[in-house]
Structure 1
Amino acid sequence: ARLRALRTVRRTEPGAAAPAAPEADADPIADLRRSFLAQLPERRQALRSHWQSAAGGDPAAADEVRLIAHRLAGTGATFDQPAVGTQARRVETALLAWRARPGETDLRAAVDTALADFEAAVSAALGPSAAADAAPASTDAPPPTPTSAPAAPPTPPASRPARSEASTDPQPGTVEAGTGAGPEVKAEPSATATLWAVGIAPMLLTTLSPLELQLRTFADLDAALSALEAGVTAPAATLIGTAMLGRPEAIARLRARAPLALYSGRGSLADRIAGVHAGAETCFAATVDQALLGEWLEMRCVPRVGDALRVLLIDDDPIFIALCSNLLSGNGFVVRAMEHPYALCEELAEFEPDVLLLDLYLRDCTGLEVATALRQFPGWSNLPIVFLSADHELAHQAAALGAGLDDWLSKPFEAVQLRQVVQTRALRGRRLRARVDTDPLTGVLSASSFENRLGIEVGRAQRYGRALSLVLIDPDELGALADAQGRGAADRLLCLLAQQLGQRVRRSDLLGRGHGAAFALALTETGGDVAGCVIETLRSTWQRSAADAAQPPALAGFSAGLAALRAGENAPALHERALRALRAARRAGGNRLLRMTELGDQADSGCGPEMPKTTSSGRGSLM
């Protein structure tokens, strides 16, 4: 199902002209460097003014001095001004010493000296023409006013696409500021992925047949390399047997064309180490596991563009936000930035990031405090957090680890280092969540995960006045099938139903196991009438499929209960109404859909005689 859903998506703004192609010599990093230099005189002035107020007894001004100096210490070397960064760090260190013992004149003089050296470094960075600006500011000049306004309330995301469209996820390379979604994402199917198997007996690959990919086998590495030299298109991934490990040069040539995995009949640690040494990204033991292989292909080889890694960045320095966004957004990441953590919980629920990048020092709090508070929310306790800071103190890094930090990047850092850390942490977190959130039998969301996600979707629908329908589905007489043909037959029927449901719902919908039902389906942007028609169409299709998969044919049907979200209703109440409708469908004999009407609590039939092609909610045909 994962591979079947692979899509190539492109971003379009409805009614807008295509963006002009960038100039060949455009360099956003160079533009940011020029912007950094242009702001240096203003920051130099702000440091001097705030220090004069701090020396006069204003603790808030001292906080501003540290904040500005800390920012410059991290971004100075990043923008090729190491002297500015070094002197800014001296200012921060001297200030901290003076604040610990403000009565000592020597420590105050050390701040004055460090500040003068910083001003000299700024003048040198700006050139001789800026030397006249280095004079200390008048003591009568008030310090700049901090700009710590609360974040604006979230704006409603763009309406989700009709059922004929595949995804609402942003395209990689997108940078989003604050809350709110970007333009719609269109989708079109991509070609089937190709997997090469080298040096593996064909009978061992029979478990791969259900996966929708093209499988091509080769007797040895020479045959695979000859195919590449003959112009055959490189595969999405290559699976090699352990007997091939004795030829590292040939493996390296093959690995240069596609990601590599190892098949080991034993799956021993020695084989796995040898595979890692040869450059294999993972190892499959004994019978190749379809779910693990599908996950590896999706994550590492042919990822969906719509499933680009989502990065949420919190930093109160706009230039640094722009820098990180530019370094990440062109490399398969979707970046959303916040300058303040006030609306972090809402942003997490709306954006659902794979990793959080967090500055250690923010204006009104520290990143350590934000991380500690965030870990108290069960839903985000496992979100990977990476700190970005110019602070090199080991004690601070140790405290961050104690708060649940996953990684630490010290400013300045290389672009490749940032990308590698973010990708590694995000992929690892995504895999962990997938295994925790997924039902091992059917591959859909587990019941608890579905419940959590439903709460988020209900909250979003209530905030923005959107429609949402919940359907609970149960195959009829599943227990009788298990008694007659064994538990395995019942499990196969459940997997078949999960597969058909997964093929026919949008990626913006939620599909999982249900409490009190086999499956639960949340249809976003969908009112009760359209949802009823969707399920009735699916039920008719399912009857034919289930009749072929199970005997006797009397078992080939399912009961469903439908409830459309009411204004002010929460997720548990919506689930309870859908469950009552499902129970009514069972009592009525099964193999039917009943709906809890929006105006009353009675259950009625779920679909009119004719299925509409389009609706005011934007939802189209299921098929």
Structure 2
Amino acid sequence: MTELMGAEAEMRDALRRLRADGVQRLGERVRELSAGWAALQPRRPWDDADRARLGELAASAHRLAGAGGTFGFPALSKAAAPLELLLLGLRDTPAPGGDRLRQAGAQVAAVAAAWEAGPAGAEEDGADPGQASPAEHGEPIFLFAEAEEQAMLSAVIANLGYSVRRASEREVLEGALPEGPLSAAVIDDAVPDPLAVCARLAGRCPLILLAEDSSFENRLAAARAGVEALVAKPLEVNELADWLDHFAGGRAETRYTIVIVDDDRLLAAAYAMALRQAGMQVTSVSDPAQAIEVIAATAPDLILMDLQMPGIDGIELARVIRQTRRHLSLPILFLSAEQDTERQILARRLGGDDFIPKPVDLDRLVTLVRLRAERARALRAVMESDSLTGLLNHARFKERLGLELERARRHGTTLSLVIFDLDHFKSVNDTHGHLVGDRVIRGLARSLQKRLRRTDVIGRYGGEEFAALMIGTGPEEARGIIDHLRERFAAASFETEGGSFGVTFSAGIAGNAPGGAGPEGGAEAEAMISAADAALYAAKRAGRNRVMVAPA
């Protein structure tokens, strides 16, 4: 039962952004249809080019009739279906009468009205009743937008699984504010005085501004008005979805990992207790000589270190930690009663980031540690992540591979390296364009994130290649998991204006040497990559859309 629920959740998450993309295209088609009809009206009598344009408008109406209901706009489908027939009739009639022209015009207006009315059930109660919300039925998203954009934005947000409360332009002008708690507010800069709206909402909930102007000056003004996120227009649905998930996705509170290095066990226990009560994972080290090993094993977000310790002081230990390149950006906070400003500056210059004076106020300690860890994790995510997918980039993934192999060697555990490659991806770009290709890449990234465990490590290896480290999983077990994921991904479809299409991937798997045998360090990582690569190309030579395991 749990597995079934997980599969359903995975499918909902994969489909919701595709649905939101579809809604955005519906709005574009409605606007193109209305503008195209308006441009044809004064041009009568129509020539051959105009009649060809009528055929294109009829095709647009056909697509709206087919897609409207799918994306939550049944009234739009109902209005677009007869319009297709009316437009085809006008195209094929040499001299259509005024009644037929007025009827077609009225039906174009009906299509626009059905779109502006919004999706069925989108307002107040979110997406369709059978769809669980990523926010677990939490507070709604509040939307400020003008009428012409409100329907599209409301439907996009609803199809992402969030409930929507909308404000009319009149309510915005009158300064109406929503009552009750909100997950976030989305403000379109087309409304009157959008930054004043943001300023009135600031502090109530996170604010997302959709802006035509993404200049530094406008971003600064938005920040001063309390805006946390600015999404540039034309709207990129995935960026909006990422921000909504970030602010309202109902995810468990971030658990930061902290290492405390202090020879005073009693004080270290007090610091650890305060941080654990705040939801952090804490490892205490009383012997500074063990700090490097603990840091390698825990990959902390921050180190809390006493400045004065016997045998080695905190400045010396910080210099040792900084000798490892991946620890250059790791925050180190010194705990010290040191009053000498020269020594404080020296400590900062040689590796420390800040001082927390002793005696330590535990509430202040928790606040400072959380702020530093939050900022460090955000910066690390930017530096280490692939910009398109949010997964680890190539360099960071290879670094993690080396770390996990060292850990597996120490503990005698197994792990599997999987390298994925999208089949015939060049033809996707050539046929549908690079924007659609990017959607396919993001689609596979999300499938990997949903299906694999949080303890597994996932990266974009390059182009259309991905890689995953499956911790504590042998190659044959990994094959079964990846093969199931492959089948699910192959069954999904990607929508374009020309219809839908499917994509498959091939994968190669290699395991680490049993019992820690084999080469050490970087040589083992390179050998594992070569073995997984060879298995991947064997899968491609065998016909693609399959998973193969490298020989042991």
Instruction: Give distance in 2, aligned partners of 1:514 and 1:249.
Output: 42
Instruction: Give distance in 2, aligned partners of 1:572 and 1:213.
Output: 44
Structure 1 counterpart of 2:537, from 570, 579, 583: 583
Instruction: Give distance in 2, aligned partners of 1:553 and 1:275.
Output: 39
Distance 1:457 1:195, change over 3 A: farther
Residue 263 (structure 2) aligns with:
316
Residue 217 (structure 1) aligns with:
166
**Counterpart check, 1:468 vs 2:429:** no
**Counterpart check, 1:486 vs 2:430:** no
Q: Secondary structure of 2:323's partner?
A: coil
**Counterpart check, 1:451 vs 2:405:** no
Please tell me the residue identity of whatever aligns with 1:464. Answer: H
Structure 2 counterpart of 1:236, from 175, 179, 183: 183
Please tell me the residue identity of whatever aligns with 2:465. Answer: A
**Counterpart check, 1:556 vs 2:503:** yes
**TM-score normalised by L of structure 1:** 0.58
Q: How many residues are paired up? A: 407
Structure 2 counterpart of 1:394, from 323, 336, 341: 341
Distance 1:366 1:540, change over 3 A: same
Instruction: Give distance in 2, aligned partners of 1:466 and 1:538.
Output: 24
Q: Secondary structure of 1:591's partner?
A: coil
- Percent of pairs identical after alignment? 31
Is the CA contact 1:562–1:578 (under 8 Å) kept in the aligned structure 2? yes
Residue 251 (structure 1) aligns with:
201
Deviations 1:530-587 (A, max 9, x none): 2111122122222222587799999733221111222224322222111111122222
Distance 1:488 1:510, change over 3 A: same
Is the CA contact 1:208–1:290 (under 8 Å) kept in the aligned structure 2? no
Is the CA contact 1:375–1:381 (under 8 Å) kept in the aligned structure 2? yes
Deviations 1:367-386 (A, max 9, x none): 11111221221111111121
* Shift in Å, 1:277: 4.3
Distance 1:547 1:540, change over 3 A: farther
Residue 357 (structure 2) aligns with:
410
Q: Secondary structure of 1:325's partner?
A: helix
Instruction: Give distance in 2, aligned partners of 1:487 and 1:319.
Output: 59
Is the CA contact 2:492–2:502 (under 8 Å) kept in the aligned structure 1? no
Instruction: Give distance in 2, aligned partners of 1:574 and 1:392.
Output: 52
Please tell me the residue identity of whatever aligns with 2:182. Answer: P
Is the CA contact 1:221–1:251 (under 8 Å) kept in the aligned structure 2? no
Is the CA contact 1:314–1:338 (under 8 Å) kept in the aligned structure 2? yes
Q: Secondary structure of 1:499's partner?
A: helix
* Shift in Å, 1:505: 0.8
Distance 1:286 1:408, change over 3 A: farther
Structure 2 counterpart of 1:361, from 308, 327, 340: 308
Q: Secondary structure of 1:197's partner?
A: strand
Instruction: Give distance in 2, aligned partners of 1:288 and 1:331.
Output: 37
Residue 573 (structure 1) aligns with:
527
Distance 1:298 1:542, change over 3 A: closer
Please tell me the residue identity of whatever aligns with 1:214. Answer: S
Is the CA contact 1:477–1:555 (under 8 Å) kept in the aligned structure 2? no
Q: Secondary structure of 1:305's partner?
A: coil
Is the CA contact 1:218–1:224 (under 8 Å) kept in the aligned structure 2? no
Distance 1:249 1:477, change over 3 A: closer
Q: Secondary structure of 2:288's partner?
A: coil
Q: Structure 2 matches for 1:501-516, cutoff 5 A?
A: 501-514=448-461
Q: Structure 2 matches for 1:18-417, cutoff 5 A?
A: 191=136, 194=139, 196-201=141-146, 202=149, 205=153, 211-219=160-168, 220=171, 227-228=178-179, 232=180, 234-240=181-187, 243=193, 245-246=195-196, 250-251=200-201, 255-256=203-204, 258-286=205-233, 304-305=251-252, 307-417=254-364
Instruction: Give distance in 2, aligned partners of 1:317 and 1:301.
Output: 41
Deviations 1:160-198 (A, max 9, x none): xxxxxxxxxxxxxxxxxxxxxxxxxxxxx9715555335
